[in-house]
């Protein structure tokens, strides 16, 4: 019988639910006579693809659903500003909010989000990722429900701040969670798949808000209160359901999961892989099963790694423009043609995010197949956003051309955030392993969301002189967004050049790593990493397969 026990080199190092299995005890895993490390077995490509398809069916629908609802809860305050405005039942009129109150309210979410993103992701890496993600979604739904009871400006501001606290760690946590099951070169497509939920959510919030506006006055509640209430309750239900839906971190073949006394109250989630599938995944992504424990010194090495900061600036620009468009897109549409009704604005708002949706599905799978050219895909998409902003700003004689500029912005936005997060995973998993992914994804997401603070507080309605009605309304805000997008492009170019010069070899400063640098490199080269040396390109596409 294989001997099991606590092994400081396995799992996340501190997962209380796992009895650690030493791979050398597995009769299916052969140890190298030179290094004592388990040899990597090779499998047919079809077997590997089958395993990842099985993971997709279990993980991606759950992530898509939770991101859809959480995005709706986070962003529905934007559409609430124009709901039933013709009868004085919009958010600003009912609660007596000024333009500055609205900007402050929207900004407070990102202030708390930036502050708590890193702590949340680090906690997730130490505890059960499944339980922590369920906690986030349930709390988001709970706070979202409370918005239905807001009576004054101060209560909305407080709730937005709390919403940022409980949402922190969700987006980078999802990116980190994927690396427990997929190699980084495969995560761009998957991040894009569930990131489409944000775009569909933005479109649906706009379309469904037309229905909520028809409910105005029902049960004594105005339309936007019904919207807050229903989305929040759905989020709470989903948070509980995720405890049964999402799998815990994968187990090595022959390993059994032990229940910690602190987490015995949690329901068990069925293992996502078993039998031969578990063996294939073990050999393809061995780094996940043998991630070393990390400490504050390891975290410090991540924080001082120069590779972090170009990624933060890349994310700063694209997420700032994305959130600015999401929260103020309806106001920009209203400024293009002041005669539009609230329902017409809602209907015109949706196609922006359908363009975003299409771009994600088109570009992110290709960016995975050409994973060495992430910067090219990223910069090309940013250029499309800039072209859209210029069209919206200068096509004053044609309102529909200006609206077309918004559609271009939506298309360009789609691939940028998934590509940025995927590149972060690729760089920091190889260099700093699990703590690198957990910390870097949180810092890129958290600090990058300072761009969201810029667009929600300093631009559009938060810039009173720029919000004056007329043909040049929001022009300077659009110019500012073009400027931060240029920063994103420049940062991607700088990152590419510096990686060419300095490389991205595994760090030799990881605490507790008694192996030599060559041994550490050998361990990292699992089946997936060996294949990633060469790009997949368009091989094995449907048109290249024999009948």
Tokens, residue 267: 């329901």
Binned at pLDDT 50, 70 and 90, residue 150 comes out as confident
Distance in angstroms (rounded) separating the CA atoms of residues 1 and 281: 23
How many CB atoms lie under 10 A from the CB of residue 234?
A: 18
pLDDT at 413 over 50: yes
Burial class, 424, CB count within 10 angstroms (exposed 0-12 / middle 13-18 / buried 19+) = buried
Amino acid 545: pLDDT: 56
Amino acid 544: pLDDT: 57
Which sign does the torsion angle of CA 120, 124, 130, 132 carry?
Answer: negative
pLDDT at 453 over 70: yes
Distance in angstroms (rounded) separating the CA atoms of residues 452 and 458: 10
Average pLDDT of the chain to the nearest whole number: 82
Higher pLDDT, 41 or 273: 273
Residue with tokens 């006055």: 217
Structure letter (DSSP) for residue 507: P
| Cβ partners under 8 Å of residue 225, min gap 6 | 148
pLDDT tens-digit profile of 200-231?
Answer: 887 777 778 777 878 877 888 887 888 889 99
Binned at pLDDT 50, 70 and 90, residue 516 comes out as very low
Query: How many CA atoms lie less than 13 Å away from 464 in the CB half-sphere?
Result: 4
**C-alpha 274, offset from chain centre:** 28
Distance in angstroms (rounded) separating the CA atoms of residues 49 and 46: 5
Closest CA to 359 of 408, 301, 431, 298: 408
pLDDT tens-digit profile of 66-114?
Answer: 999 998 898 888 778 777 777 777 788 888 888 788 878 888 888 898 8
pTM of the model: 0.80
pLDDT tens-digit profile of 300-353?
Answer: 999 999 999 999 999 999 998 988 887 788 888 888 888 887 778 878 888 888
Amino acid 395: pLDDT: 87
pLDDT at 36 over 90: no
Higher pLDDT, 397 or 540: 397
Segments in 215-341 forming alpha helices (H) = 223-245, 275-284, 286-289, 296-303, 308-336
Amino acid 25: pLDDT: 41
Tokens, residue 470: 């007329």
Determine the angle formed by the axes of helices 223-245 and 129-146, rounding to 10 degrees: 170
pLDDT at 509 over 80: no
Amino acid 385: pLDDT: 96
pLDDT at 7 over 50: no
Closest CA to 296 of 118, 447, 426: 118
pLDDT at 42 over 80: no
């Amino acid at each position: 019988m294989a001997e099991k026990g606590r092994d400081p080199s396995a799992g996340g190092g501190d997962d209380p639910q796992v009895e650690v299995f030493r791979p050398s005890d597995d009769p299916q895993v052969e140890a190298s006579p030179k290094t004592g490390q388990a040899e990597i077995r090779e499998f047919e490509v079809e077997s590997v693809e089958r395993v990842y398809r099985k993971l997709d069916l279990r993980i991606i629908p759950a992530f898509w659903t939770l991101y859809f609802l959480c995005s709706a809860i986070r962003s529905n305050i934007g559409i609430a500003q124009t709901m039933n405005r013709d009868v004085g039942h919009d958010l600003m009129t009912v609660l007596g909010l000024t333009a500055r109150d609205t900007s402050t309210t929207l900004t407070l979410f990102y202030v708390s989000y930036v502050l708590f993103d890193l702590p949340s992701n680090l906690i997730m890496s130490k505890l059960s990722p499944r339980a922590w993600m369920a906690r986030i979604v349930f709390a988001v739904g709970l706070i979202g429900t409370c918005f239905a009871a807001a009576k004054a400006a101060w209560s909305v501001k407080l709730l937005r701040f709390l919403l940022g606290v409980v949402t922190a760690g969700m987006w980078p946590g999802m990116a980190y969670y994927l690396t427990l099951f997929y190699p980084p070169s495969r995560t761009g497509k998957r991040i894009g798949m569930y990131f489409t939920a944000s775009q569909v959510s933005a479109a649906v919030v706009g379309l469904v808000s037309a229905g909520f506006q028809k409910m105005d006055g029902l049960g004594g509640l105005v339309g936007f209160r019904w919207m807050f209430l229903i989305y929040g309750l759905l989020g709470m239900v989903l948070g509980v359901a995720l405890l049964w839906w999402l799998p815990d971190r994968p187990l090595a073949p022959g390993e059994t999961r032990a229940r910690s006394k602190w987490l015995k109250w949690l329901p068990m989630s069925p293992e996502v892989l078993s039998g031969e599938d578990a063996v294939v995944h073990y050999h393809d992504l061995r780094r996940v099963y043998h991630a070393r424990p990390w400490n504050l010194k390891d975290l410090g090495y991540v924080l001082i790694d120069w590779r972090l900061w170009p990624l933060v600036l890349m994310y700063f620009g694209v997420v700032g423009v994305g959130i600015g468009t999401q929260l103020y897109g309806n106001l920009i549409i209203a400024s293009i043609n002041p005669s539009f009704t609230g329902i017409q604005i809602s209907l015109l708002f949706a196609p922006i995010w359908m363009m975003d949706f299409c771009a994600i599905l088109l570009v992110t799978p290709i960016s995975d197949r050409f994973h060495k050219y992430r910067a090219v895909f990223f910069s090309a998409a940013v250029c499309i956003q800039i072209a859209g902003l210029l069209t919206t700003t200068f096509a004053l004689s044609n309102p529909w051309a200006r609206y077309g500029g918004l559609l271009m912005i939506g298309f360009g936005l789609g691939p940028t955030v998934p590509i940025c997060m995927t590149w972060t995973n690729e760089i920091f998993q190889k260099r700093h392993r699990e703590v690198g992914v957990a910390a870097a994804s949180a810092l890129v997401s958290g600090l990058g969301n300072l761009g969201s603070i810029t667009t929600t507080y300093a631009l559009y309605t938060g810039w009173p002189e720029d919000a004056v009605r007329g043909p040049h309304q929001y022009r300077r805000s659009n110019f500012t967004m073009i400027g931060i997008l240029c920063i994103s492009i420049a940062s991607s170019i700088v990152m590419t050049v510096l990686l060419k010069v300095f490389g991205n070899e595994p760090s030799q400063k990881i605490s507790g790593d008694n192996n030599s640098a060559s041994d550490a490199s050998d361990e990292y080269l699992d089946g997936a990493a060996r294949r990633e040396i060469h790009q997949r390109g368009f091989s094995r596409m449907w048109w290249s397969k024999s009948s």
